[in-house]
């Protein structure tokens, strides 16, 4: 029999008797709830006892369809204590996709926020979060001590679903062994301690936010949990609770920095760490964040649901991280860059302790992406002479124009170096001659008088000619998807529609 491993649901349990806050829940900002470590761990145990009493066995699956609130965390960690596998379901998904995930994951019960109940298929049992009565969450719990399930080998801990850039989302089967290592590795790399308070506004069903929660629990820290991101409410919470760690995709930081009336006059020297991930960040944004948080380490993070965020971190000798680097390889991982002009550029393949078991019910995709212990990330990276790694772009986003490979991330970083450009997103538009050409969606800085020609001139001066955007579309703000990233798919579709409309006009 394989050796026992740590139950992921028990991380941070050494703090279970502490009266210090574990979660400051801002689901209802007018009535914040502070839940201490003792209460939080007792509630997780009560969820586990409730599942066992109702006949759930290790390996059974339960769904979580819920916005950010402490009950989400109690279900997530409580389920794993019983060996039951929580399945995280995106709250912005349409009802038919929710139904598909419930079926694909063989979910037997969904813990569902009352306002989201209509998204569930009528055939599935639900325990309602935010409701009283026998079907309510509090009635489900069974208070008392609980002896946690002891996992072995690659026993499954939890099951998130990727956003699915094409087709249906993919269930990513993640083990207790892998993610206990991930949680402890990330927390140690980022120096989480009981004195830390971290603000989290990204959705908990996404791995970025859940990794943050794990860091908090392992460090015995406190999470300030927002229901969703709102720039002004975020700044208010940072000030009110003096959060020492702030985190988000670059778009979140850009939107926060636009609220100058709220930021002016405050001293943010209490912030020690600001992490940015999910997309490249420009020099201008990094400098602005560094100015706002003068004593904070500004860290670009890189993570993959299938391979964790415990991939790159600090240099073992604490050498300074170069600007824009995603970090130094964390010990225990092996990397190779495949398909580039040399071994220092290409698609990242990963082998390490944080890898997924497989894709749920999808052996073809598992075989395609995970071979002989190596996972094909689909991300294009480069490595410098010293050994630091840098993110170039998604292989799926790369497109060919007149024989040239264009990585939108590189072009976006170049465009955002213009002092009047707040944000840029580059997509491929169809073209009869060049096959694909770059279109750029731009958000101007407040008060800027930027023109389309200004943007094109900047690109022609600072990049190869094939990268300059053939059309520039100005937007008041970038559209966001459910996990707080710019909705690239939506803007790509808009670019295609523009080309089609222009072609129709030319034939009239």
Tens-place pLDDT, residues 173-197: 999 999 999 999 998 889 999 999 9
The residue out of 126, 147, 175 marking a domain boundary is 175
Q: Give the separation between CA 263 and CA 283, rounded to whole angstroms.
A: 20
- Total domains in the chain come to 2
For CA atoms 249, 255, 256, 258, give the dihedral sign.
positive
Residue 182 forms part of a structural domain: no
- Number of Cβ within 10 Å of residue 289's Cβ equals 21
Residue 379 forms part of a structural domain: no
pLDDT at 143: 97
Residue 256 forms part of a structural domain: no
Residue 206 forms part of a structural domain: no
Write b or e for each residue in 36-66: b if 16 or more Cβ atoms lie within 10 A of its Cβ, otherwise e. bbebbbbbbbbbbbbbbeeebeeebbbbbbb
Q: Give the separation between CA 438 and CA 253, rounded to whole angstroms.
A: 26
| Residue 406, Cβ density class (10 Å: 0-12 exposed, 13-18 middle, ≥19 buried) | buried
Residue 377 forms part of a structural domain: no
Instruction: Record the tokens describing residue 448, joined without a space.
Output: 């800027």
Residue 298 forms part of a structural domain: no
pLDDT at 432: 75
Averaged pLDDT, 3-24: 93
Structure confidence at residue 1 as a pLDDT band (50, 70, 90): very low
**Percent of the chain residues past pLDDT 70, beyond the cut:** 96
Q: Which residues pair with 158 in a beta bridge?
A: 174
CA distances from 263 to 26, 220, 290, 423 (A): 20, 29, 14, 20
Residue 154 forms part of a structural domain: yes
Question: What CATH number is associated with residue 68?
Answer: 3.40.50.980
Any alpha helices (H) in 105-173, and if so which ranges? 137-140
432 Ramachandran zone, left/alpha/beta (phi>0; psi -120 to 50): alpha
Q: Give the separation between CA 480 and CA 486, rounded to whole angstroms.
A: 5
Containing domain of residue 37, as a range? 1-5+7-18+33-175
pLDDT at 286: 86
Q: Is the pLDDT of residue 113 over 90?
A: yes
The DSSP letter of residue 304 is: B
Write b or e for each residue in 408-428: b if 16 or more Cβ atoms lie within 10 A of its Cβ, otherwise e. bbbbbbbbbebebbbbbbbbb
- Encode pLDDT of 332-384 as tens digits: 999 999 988 899 999 999 999 999 999 999 999 999 999 999 999 988 899 99
CA distances from 385 to 343, 346, 379 (A): 11, 15, 20
pLDDT at 164: 53
Structure confidence at residue 27 as a pLDDT band (50, 70, 90): very high
- Encode pLDDT of 414-472 as tens digits: 898 899 998 899 999 988 777 789 999 999 988 899 999 999 999 999 888 889 899 99
Structure confidence at residue 507 as a pLDDT band (50, 70, 90): low
Residue 368 forms part of a structural domain: no
Is the Cβ–Cβ distance between 204 and 73 less than 8 Å?
yes
Q: Is the pLDDT of residue 484 over 70?
A: no
- Encode pLDDT of 195-224 as tens digits: 999 999 988 998 778 889 999 999 999 999
Write b or e for each residue in 442-463: b if 16 or more Cβ atoms lie within 10 A of its Cβ, otherwise e. bbbeeebebeeebbbebbeeeb
Q: Give the separation between CA 352 and CA 354, rounded to whole angstroms.
A: 6
The residue out of 130, 149, 175 marking a domain boundary is 175
pLDDT at 308: 87
Contacts of residue 241, defined as CB under 8 A and 6 or more positions apart, other chains included, come to: 24, 197, 199, 224
pLDDT at 483: 64
For CA atoms 150, 153, 156, 162, give the dihedral sign.
positive
pLDDT at 250: 79
Q: Which residues pair with 325 in a beta bridge?
A: 390
Question: What CATH number is associated with residue 428?
Answer: 3.30.300.30
Structure confidence at residue 12 as a pLDDT band (50, 70, 90): very high
- Encode pLDDT of 289-343 as tens digits: 999 999 999 888 888 889 988 899 999 999 999 988 899 999 999 999 998 889 9
Q: Give the separation between CA 382 and CA 390, rounded to whole angstroms.
A: 5
Indicate the helix (H) or strand (E) that contains 338. strand 334-339
The residue out of 175, 204, 230 marking a domain boundary is 175
**Percent of the chain residues past pLDDT 90, beyond the cut:** 68
pLDDT at 409: 83
- Token pair 């769904």 is found at 63
Instruction: Record the tokens describing residue 450, joined without a space.
Output: 């930027």
Residue by residue, what is the 3-state secondary structure of 192-225? Answer: CCCCCEEEECCCCCCHHHHHHHHHHHHHCCEEEE
Indicate the helix (H) or strand (E) that contains 499. helix 488-507
């Amino acid at each position: 029999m394989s050796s026992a491993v740590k139950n992921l649901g028990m991380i941070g349990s050494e703090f279970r008797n502490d009266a210090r806050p574990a979660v400051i829940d801002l689901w209802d900002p007018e009535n914040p709830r502070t839940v201490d470590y003792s209460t939080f761990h007792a509630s997780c145990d009560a969820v586990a006892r409730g599942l066992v009493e109702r006949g759930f066995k290790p390996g059974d699956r339960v769904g979580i369809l819920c916005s950010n609130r402490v009950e989400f965390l109690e279900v997530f960690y409580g389920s794993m204590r019983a060996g039951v596998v929580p399945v995280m379901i995106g709250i912005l998904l349409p009802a038919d996709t929710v139904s598909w995930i419930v079926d694909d994951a063989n979910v037997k019960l969904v813990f569902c926020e009352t306002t989201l109940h209509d998204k569930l298929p009528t055939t599935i049992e639900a325990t309602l979060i935010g409701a009283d009565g026998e079907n309510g969450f509090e009635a489900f719990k069974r208070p008392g001590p609980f002896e946690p399930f002891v996992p072995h080998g690659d026993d499954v801990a939890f099951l998130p679903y990727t956003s699915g850039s094409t087709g249906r989302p993919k269930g990513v089967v993640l083990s207790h062994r892998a993610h206990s290592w991930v949680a402890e590795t990330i927390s140690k790399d980022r120096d989480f301690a009981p004195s830390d308070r971290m603000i989290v506004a990204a959705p908990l069903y996404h791995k970025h936010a859940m990794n943050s929660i794990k860091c908090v629990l392992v460090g015995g820290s406190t999470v300030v949990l927002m229901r969703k991101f709102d720039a002004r409410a975020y700044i208010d919470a940072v000030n009110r609770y003096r959060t020492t760690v702030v985190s988000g995709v670059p778009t979140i930081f850009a939107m926060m920095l636009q609220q100058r009336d709220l930021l002016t006059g405050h001293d943010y020297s209490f912030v020690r760490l600001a992490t940015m991930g999910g997309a490249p960040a420009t020099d201008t944004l990094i400098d602005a964040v560094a100015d706002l948080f003068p004593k904070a380490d500004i860290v670009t993070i890189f993570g993959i649901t299938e391979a964790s965020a415990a991939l790159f971190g600090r240099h073992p000798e604490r050498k300074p991280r170069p600007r824009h680097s995603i970090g130094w390889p964390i010990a225990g991982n092996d990397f190779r860059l495949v398909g580039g002009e040399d071994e220092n550029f290409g698609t990242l393949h990963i082998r390490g302790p944080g890898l997924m078991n497989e894709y749920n019910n999808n052996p073809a995709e598992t075989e395609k992406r995970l071979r002989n212990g190596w996972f094909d990330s689909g991300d294009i990276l480069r490595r410098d002479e010293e050994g630091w790694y840098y993110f170039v772009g998604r292989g799926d986003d790369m497109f060919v124009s007149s024989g040239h490979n264009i990585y939108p991330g590189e072009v976006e970083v170049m465009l955002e170096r213009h002092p009047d450009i707040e944000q840029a997103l580059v997509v491929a538009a169809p073209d009869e001659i060049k096959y694909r050409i770059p279109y750029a969606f731009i958000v101007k800085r407040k008060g800027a008088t930027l023109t389309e020609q200004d943007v094109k001139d900047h690109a022609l001066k600072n990049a190869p000619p094939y990268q300059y955007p053939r059309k520039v579309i100005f937007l008041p703000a970038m559209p966001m998807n459910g996990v707080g990233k710019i909705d690239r798919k939506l803007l790509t579709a808009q670019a295609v529609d523009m080309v089609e409309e222009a072609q129709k006009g030319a034939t009239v």
